[in-house]
Amino acid sequence: MEILVCVKRVPDTAENEFELNSEGNDLDRDDLVYSVNEWDNYAVEEAIQIVDKVGGNVTVVTVGDDESEEVLRREMAMGANNGVLLSDDAFEGSDCRSIAAILKAEVESGAYDLIMTGAQADDGAAEVGGMLAAMLDMPYASLVNEIEIRDGGKIKAGREIEGGNQEMNEIELPCVLSIQTGINEPRYVGIRGIRKVAKVEIPTKSASDLGIEENSVGEKGSKVKRLDYFVPDLGEGAEMLEGSTDEIIEKLIEKLKSKGGLG
């Protein structure tokens, strides 16, 4: 089975103190520490586990600049077989639709049975996986937390839905899945593994290599532009209710009534 996993280099929330840039429409990214997107890491681990069971190859792909190559090598040290960097000045400022269009071109240049993304990345929009599936006209499932390979070119995918419920679907390959955290436990990547892939050649593809018109992606081709980025004002602190369970319930009911929450 040939699996393509889309990954992204994002600011590491555990290693940074975030500040806004001078325009107030993004983070100040000059001195940030970066790592692979957490959701994507689970997707790569799941892909590796599938290939370990049924055979095949795992390819990781990212859209970014030269520094994004480090996340590809990190996932290759984890066990992915190949990496592909999609990089071009024309890709700068791409919105989610443009990112999906760039990834679509890479998918169509190969022969993949399964395409996987993380459930979401640092923008939190959780849009790329669904958009990519729509552009490819492939079946799609989001928030996937269980995968079982079945006979006849099908998979069984479990997905997390509202209310803590689980939904199971049988999906024909090829398809696109967005992977939820918790589906597995991503393996530790040691120095030895990183050294092993340090000099492996990773192909870089530009817009022309992918057959993409430069005006269709990047800032020129994007229909969504971020206008503002801010930290909300802090509200008043929470009120802690004390007493026995019955006393706390009674106090809570009274407060809900006083606020119009209960009739």
Tell whether pTM > 0.75: yes
- List the pLDDT tens digit at each of the 263 positions of the chain: 999 999 999 888 777 777 878 777 777 777 788 889 999 999 999 999 999 999 999 999 999 999 999 999 999 999 999 999 999 999 999 999 999 999 999 999 999 999 999 998 867 788 999 999 999 999 999 999 999 999 999 999 999 888 889 999 999 999 999 999 999 999 999 899 999 999 999 999 999 999 999 999 999 999 988 888 777 777 777 788 899 999 999 999 888 888 776 66
pLDDT at residue 233 in the model: 79
| Domains of the chain, start order | 2-221 (3.40.50.620)
Residues in the chain: 263
44: closest CA among 72, 16, 11?
72
Please name every residue paired with 148 in a beta bridge, in sequence order, or none if there are none: 156
What are the CA-CA distances from residue 173 to residues 112, 114, 115, 242 (Å)?
A: 9, 7, 10, 55
pLDDT at residue 162 in the model: 87
Contacts by residues 11-16 (CB-CB < 8 Å, ≥ 24 positions apart): 11/122
d(CA 48, CA 235) in angstroms, rounded, equals: 45
4: closest CA among 102, 97, 101, 117?
117
d(CA 79, CA 57) in angstroms, rounded, equals: 10
